[in-house]
Structure 1
């Protein structure tokens, strides 16, 4: 009898609350972005510089020329991803830049919407229509953020890789969990941070599968692009000068190393960076594992990603698309506990990822003589936010455990 009762509401929800209108709005947003990208690239041929590098890398593979000798654009940008990534980008070289930009923006916005659908579904929003409405509202709030806008404008791959990691580690089948994360790391090395995270959380099989997935991309690269693979794994992957086009763009390097590079030359920057990376990396992974245990997998991998962004030699603002799950998860918690202070904190964090990047960009291009202290303060905000997040998680869970132990000893 109970099964027949529970079956009825599910049928009615499916008919009445499908969220079709909201989903259509989401598709319309993605199509509008794609059309804008196509028109803007057709008229002005500006923007999507990273996408152009991807296309040229794919074209080099098809033309059997060296991927790591090519330069693109007036800034002489170089291909910095793995040979495996260059192979994946070959389809982009088969179509024009305008079509590539439109398709890329379409895919990125759809990936963003799927990601937020997953994040929203973490709460008790069981009604499909309400979940679709929440997803649409969050998408509208997230799209203007500087890391997201910059990802779309540059034609970066960050949102797609973020979605792949989230799906793999939260929805992947146990037997194969970790493989997609390893493949993602084979495209862009920074997701390698999730392998030690899986080890610290004692998911040894997932860590092994991630390692095998990554190793598979390396082997495939050596089999199909042996010369490029020797160049890349022989040292090109560690050459930060391939990534940093000029000294002035160091102001936008949102990692610990990027902030330290703004210090006077007399400072021991490299030893200081390595020491801080050891502390933040080790402590941060422990906090991420603690967070996964206390607050769930999505929160744990978000904390882990923040650790990776902080210790990476170069973390551009568009790499900080991990602010998306950070903001959504914190907003969900603030709503659940109905804490005014936390709601204000969410708003402040949203403001940090919205405004300072645009202001820094304006200062750099409109008032270049003011580069210095202002940009140092503005561009260090992401690093400060990441460090504050890890510290806040450590303090919160530490106090929670201390209270539980104190209660347990009192009951005993």
Structure 2
């Protein structure tokens, strides 16, 4: 560990410059395309009386695919110019990342008596290199904002402040349907109050939107929700869900049954593991597992959606750092490092044009396999002895999965 404050500052600055150069020079910037869809949609809705789900950006067929509550939340964009919108998005995303890293990395720094700002600074650089994070930022996506909303509930539950737990999940589910799986997690974990608050929040946001925008609400729930053609090609290599894995076997052959079997098996594995996490009082582990499951079972999980794997990566590294057994300590840290490298590499794009054959099946879905491995093997904390239940701030001891 770097000891001098000056050396720590210079180290973080050097890392930040290196990361900035990497992001700038490596191809793959998305030109804030999705942010342009959001900005154009609400602008057309407010200023031209357009249809939220009728707007498409430029000469593409891509339009707004989220529930109408998301458009209501994004209404301030209609008052901002394009470049101001980009700056606002970057600022909000930076705040979301800061919150996530504070909740997940700062406890590791405190546990090992590391300089907290230095540790979070290094973690920020490592986070920025992940392709899902890079894509979320350069697309102008909302993934990191939703991640922070959901993890706010994990923070509240892990610190015993249950009164408002569930609001973050409810708002996230009203903005984008995928986070609704966290309501099922709350039920499996016996957090009925938080689950009820999440359902109530999502329902209230949806009903309020129906009063504000009845037409778009009707269109979304009766037409748009089931129209997969608005989202994209299931077999496209960026789709790292189980549905994408199956679709890439042969896009011309429907394979709904195998996909449903894989989803059922994944949900069964997830349910067993989150129940175990709940018995151990491992709130963060349960949330991390649920984020992984959400990516796998969703019909579409673009690469940028895999920011939901970030908590699992951090918890895996944390488990390795506190593991007393030397062999397992090395194995967990190597696993965390390998997972981070894979998610930074963009390796799946090697099969963007040709994803057939065994190599395409394995390499073209590398992120999906990694997500499944994390779901199956992420270490969870051991149940506390009956005589001593640890406080939320006490160190967590990793157990074999």
Which TM-score band applies after superposition, normalised by the shorter structure?
Answer: 0.7 to 0.9
Pairs within 5 Å for 1:201-280: 201-244=189-232, 246=233, 250-264=236-250, 269-280=255-266
Cα drift, residue 375 of structure 1: 5.1
* Residue from 80, 88, 92 that aligns with 1:95: 80
* Residue from 141, 146, 160 that aligns with 1:161: 146
Residue 304 (structure 1) aligns with: 290
Residue 9 (structure 1) aligns with: none
Give the direction of change, closer, same or farther, for the CA distance of 1:388–1:128 in structure 2 (3 Å limit).
closer
Give the direction of change, closer, same or farther, for the CA distance of 1:268–1:103 in structure 2 (3 Å limit).
closer
C-alpha distance in 1, partners of 2:46/2:267? 39
TM-score, normalising length: structure 2:
0.81
Residue 181 (structure 1) aligns with: 169
Residue 347 (structure 1) aligns with: 337
Cα drift, residue 278 of structure 1: 1.8
Asked if 1 retains the 8 angstrom alpha-carbon contact of 2:41 and 2:52, the reply is: yes
Asked if 2 retains the 8 angstrom alpha-carbon contact of 1:251 and 1:258, the reply is: yes
Asked if 2 retains the 8 angstrom alpha-carbon contact of 1:253 and 1:317, the reply is: yes
Cα drift, residue 169 of structure 1: 2.6
Residue 389 (structure 1) aligns with: 374
Whether 2:96 is the aligned partner of 1:111: answer yes
Give the direction of change, closer, same or farther, for the CA distance of 1:127–1:201 in structure 2 (3 Å limit).
closer
C-alpha distance in 1, partners of 2:208/2:107? 36
Give the direction of change, closer, same or farther, for the CA distance of 1:209–1:51 in structure 2 (3 Å limit).
same
Pairs within 5 Å for 1:26-37: none
C-alpha distance in 1, partners of 2:55/2:240? 26
C-alpha distance in 1, partners of 2:279/2:46? 46
Deviations 1:81-125 (A, max 9, x none): 111100111111222222211221222123212211111233360
Asked if 1 retains the 8 angstrom alpha-carbon contact of 2:355 and 2:364, the reply is: no
TM-score, normalising length: structure 1:
0.79
Cα drift, residue 225 of structure 1: 0.5
C-alpha distance in 2, partners of 1:96/1:55? 9
Residue 125 (structure 2) aligns with: 140
- Structure with higher Rg: it is 1
Residue 42 (structure 1) aligns with: none
Whether 2:322 is the aligned partner of 1:336: answer yes
Could you say what secondary structure the match of 1:67 adopts? coil
Deviations 1:228-285 (A, max 9, x none): 00010113123221110x47x6221110001100123675511111222122123313
Question: What is the root-mean-square deviation of aligned Cα atoms in Å?
Answer: 3.1
Structure 2: 5+ residue stretches without partners: 384-401
